[in-house]
């Protein structure tokens, strides 16, 4: 059994070592055990097997017998409950102090256990930690594991007696950091008071890292207060907080974004001042998706078509072979086969929808899909406003040649994200109203499929005709569902955001439906504070009708005022520019309707989406990490 001790709280004692040098000794007030659970992960065709090591938190003692015998039967297992809660539910709601503390405990627990395990295995092979960076590379996936900077320093300095500057160089050379968000509020910060109480030695180390860094900048002649404040690890503006993004940046030799636009914006926004100080540190590694899961496993009918058309070796060289599918887009028989395999997947999804929701949808209709985490910047709300506008138009203009359409939503909201949960409620209210209205004549159905996960996505993605990638430009780091849909031949309607930009370059903007403000236009609105939506609503009678219907309770007869505040707040402060992009989005959706009537051209574009998706393979992405950052190739 592999297990390690992970401490929390307590105090730090300063003592001199045998050479008379001061050493810091951390005396935790609480210690839990981290127990390893290994799962073998078999690679493609069984050529390799990796181990996924997960950790479970357990108390040092399963029962406090003294308290139990004293009659405190619940208190006797309190230590067990407190310890095991660390690994029981990940990402607990952090809207209260208890939730914040549990999140920090979780992050440190997994980081500490993994680092202890990694260093032990290194020392089993090598007799020193001085060469750690030559054999080990640790990638910090966003700010959640960024406490690793302080924990690695603690282990190197306190437990192995390595001098500070040497330990810092080892840490920086070993760690690298991938950023996944441009939202300032999503870059984690922790209250200094919480950090000092829960991880007192780590807070000392963070202060030292910060102090040495600021001193170094001053030695270089940088005295601008605003610059020093921007790059500091401690935020002073609204209560003192530790900036985990800045900590990860300083403690890593490489900092990367996950799409070209995202990386460009990292340099000019969230890490602007740090980038000026370290201009070679930020680099780009555009995300990719695993074709073995999102094509071969998720879509066997399409995979069989590819093998028949391109040969068996397409399975091993998909990244490079898919482009050879391009000429097949001009073959009518192949386009028909492509449409037939899609219909097969849509029949499967239609059966799943009926089984789970009792809603009958036609596989012959266009499946218009948005599946992703529910967040205001991802703009499920914009899709819902279009849904209502389309509903109103179908009823008001029955003579139009409307395309039968099924709007499919799925996704989860963070536990304490009230606004996102209200959007889910709105989606279900709209679905209930539209699906029960006979005047729609089956031209529009709306479904929100609950309990979204990877397995459900594997059913939805092969069945999608239209992929909704409609985030506010400049907010989506990359996205990967956009790549999964395109790989399976869905056409994308989207903004020039995240990896949509690279998709438009490689797949061709003419094979997508691009709309909306650019990231530069969004930034201009932010700088001028143009978030009041009344001018946009006044310019669009269609949008005004939609908002008034939602606000007036048309979709919430059981509680007519349910969305009054929701709509009013959107009008007053449209942070993610939903209203600003509405008319452009409607026009793009009309282009979608027009193209669907031209089935030859639709399926020609669908085949080209699949053919040109090869670059978006995760094999390419990981190869770039291994070559440029980890130096493993």
Read off the pLDDT band of 527 (50, 70, 90).
Answer: very high
The catalytic residue among 122, 197, 373, 542 is 373
pLDDT score for 431:
98
pLDDT score for 184:
82
pLDDT score for 21:
84
Q: What torsion do the CA atoms of 127, 131, 136, 140 make, to the nearest 10 degrees?
A: 120
Residue 564 among the catalytic residues:
no
pLDDT score for 410:
98
pLDDT score for 65:
84
Read off the pLDDT band of 320 (50, 70, 90).
Answer: very high
- For residue 175, list its beta bridge partners: 138
The catalytic residue among 56, 122, 180, 542 is 180
Which pair of structure tokens corresponds to residue 270? 């969230």
76 vs 563, more confident: 563
Looking only at the bridges linking them, the beta strands covering 282-284 and 466-469 are unpaired
pLDDT tens digit sequence for 261-300: 999 999 999 999 999 999 999 999 999 999 999 999 999 9
Question: Please, which residues have CB within 8 angstroms of residue 287's CB and are 6 or more apart in sequence?
Answer: 258, 259, 478, 479, 480, 483, 499, 616, 618, 621
Which pair of structure tokens corresponds to residue 296? 């071969």
Residue 372 among the catalytic residues:
yes
Q: Does domain 291-516+584-617 have CATH number 3.40.50.2000?
A: yes
Tokens 């029962």 belong to 63
Task: Over range 534-550, report the average pLDDT.
Answer: 98
Is the pLDDT confidence value at 449 over 90? yes
pLDDT tens digit sequence for 462-508: 999 999 999 999 999 999 999 999 999 999 999 999 999 999 999 99
Report the percentage of the chain scoring pLDDT > 70.
Answer: 100
Report the percentage of the chain scoring pLDDT > 90.
Answer: 93
The full set of domain ranges for the chain reads 3-284, 291-516+584-617
Read off the pLDDT band of 441 (50, 70, 90).
Answer: very high
The catalytic residue among 33, 201, 484, 562 is 484
Could you give the maximum distance between any two Cα atoms of the chain, in Å? 91
Residue 412 among the catalytic residues:
no
Is the pLDDT confidence value at 68 over 90? no
> What's the topology of domain 3-284?
Rossmann fold (3.40.50)
The catalytic residue among 174, 286, 480, 621 is 480
Task: Over range 545-570, report the average pLDDT.
Answer: 97
Question: Please, which residues have CB within 8 angstroms of residue 338's CB and are 6 or more apart in sequence?
Answer: 302, 305, 489, 603, 606, 607
Read off the pLDDT band of 1 (50, 70, 90).
Answer: confident
The catalytic residue among 154, 281, 378, 562 is 378
pLDDT tens digit sequence for 180-229: 998 888 899 999 999 999 999 999 999 999 999 999 999 999 999 999 99
Task: Over range 83-107, report the average pLDDT.
Answer: 92
Is the pLDDT confidence value at 625 over 90? yes
The catalytic residue among 144, 154, 372, 562 is 372
Task: Over range 424-438, report the average pLDDT.
Answer: 98
Residue 480 among the catalytic residues:
yes
Task: Over range 151-173, report the average pLDDT.
Answer: 97
């Amino acid at each position: 059994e592999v297990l390690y001790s992970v401490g929390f709280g307590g105090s730090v004692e300063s003592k001199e070592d045998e050479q008379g040098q001061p050493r810091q000794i951390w005396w935790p007030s609480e210690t839990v055990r981290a127990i390893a659970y290994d799962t073998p992960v078999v690679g493609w065709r069984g050529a390799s097997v990796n181990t996924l090591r997960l950790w479970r938190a357990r108390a040092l003692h399963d029962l406090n017998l003294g308290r139990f015998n004293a009659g405190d039967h619940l208190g006797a297992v309190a230590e067990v409950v407190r310890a095991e809660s660390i690994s029981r539910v990940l990402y607990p709601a952090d809207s209260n102090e208890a939730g914040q503390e549990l999140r920090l405990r979780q992050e440190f627990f997994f980081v500490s256990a993994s680092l202890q395990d990694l260093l032990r295995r290194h020392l089993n092979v090598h007799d020193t930690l001085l060469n750690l960076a030559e054999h080990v590379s640790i990638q910090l996936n966003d700010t959640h594991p960024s406490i690793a900077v302080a924990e690695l320093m603690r282990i190197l300095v306190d437990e192995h007696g390595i001098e500070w500057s040497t330990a810092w160089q080892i840490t920086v050379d070993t760690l690298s950091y991938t950023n996944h968000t441009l939202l300032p509020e999503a870059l984690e910060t922790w209250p200094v008071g919480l950090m000092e109480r829960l991880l007192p030695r780590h807070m000392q180390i963070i202060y030292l890292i910060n102090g040495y860094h600021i001193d170094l900048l001053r030695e270089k002649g940088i005295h601008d207060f605003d610059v020093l404040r921007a790059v500091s690890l401690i935020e002073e503006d609204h209560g003192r907080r530790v900036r985990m993004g800045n900590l990860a940046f300083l403690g890593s030799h490489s900092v990367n974004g996950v799409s070209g636009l995202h990386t460009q914006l990292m340099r000019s926004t969230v890490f602007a001042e740090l980038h000026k100080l370290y201009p070679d540190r930020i680099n780009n590694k555009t995300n990719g998706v695993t074709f073995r899961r999102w094509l071969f496993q998720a879509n066997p009918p399409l995979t069989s078509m590819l093998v028949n058309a391109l040969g068996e070796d397409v399975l091993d060289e998909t990244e490079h072979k898919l482009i050879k599918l391009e000429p097949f887009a001009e073959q009518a028989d192949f386009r028909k086969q492509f449409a037939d395999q899609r219909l097969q997947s849509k029949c499967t999804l239609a059966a799943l929808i009926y089984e789970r929701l009792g809603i009958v949808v036609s596989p012959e209709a266009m499946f218009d899909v948005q599946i992703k985490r529910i967040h205001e910047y991802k703009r499920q709300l914009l899709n819902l406003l279009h849904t209502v506008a389309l509903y109103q138009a179908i009823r008001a203009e029955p003579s139009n040649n409307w395309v039968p359409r099924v709007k499919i939503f799925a996704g989860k909201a963070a536990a304490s994200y009230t606004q996102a949960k209200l959007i889910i409620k709105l989606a279900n209210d709209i679905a209930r109203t539209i699906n029960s209205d006979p005047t729609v004549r089956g031209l529009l159905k709306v479904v929100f499929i609950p309990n979204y996960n990877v397995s459900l996505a594997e059913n939805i993605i092969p069945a999608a005709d239209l992929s909704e990638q409609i985030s506010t430009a400049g907010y989506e780091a990359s996205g990967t569902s956009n790549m999964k849909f395109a790989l399976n031949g869905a056409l994308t309607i989207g903004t020039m955001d995240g990896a949509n930009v690279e998709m438009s370059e490689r797949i061709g903007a003419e094979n997508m439906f691009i709309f909306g403000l650019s990231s530069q236009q969004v930034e201009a609105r932010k700088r001028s504070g143009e978030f009041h939506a009344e001018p946009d609503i006044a310019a669009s009678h269609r949008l005004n009708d939609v908002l008034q219907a939602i606000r007036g309770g048309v979709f919430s007869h059981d509680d007519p005022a349910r969305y009054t505040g929701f709509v009013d707040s959107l009008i007053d402060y449209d942070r993610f520019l939903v209203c600003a992009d509405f008319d452009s989005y409607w026009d793009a959706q009309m282009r979608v309707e027009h193209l669907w009537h031209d089935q030859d051209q639709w399926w020609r574009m669908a085949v080209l989406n699949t053919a040109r998706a090869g670059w978006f393979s995760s094999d390419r992405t990981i190869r770039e990490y291994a070559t440029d950052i980890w130096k493993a190739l």
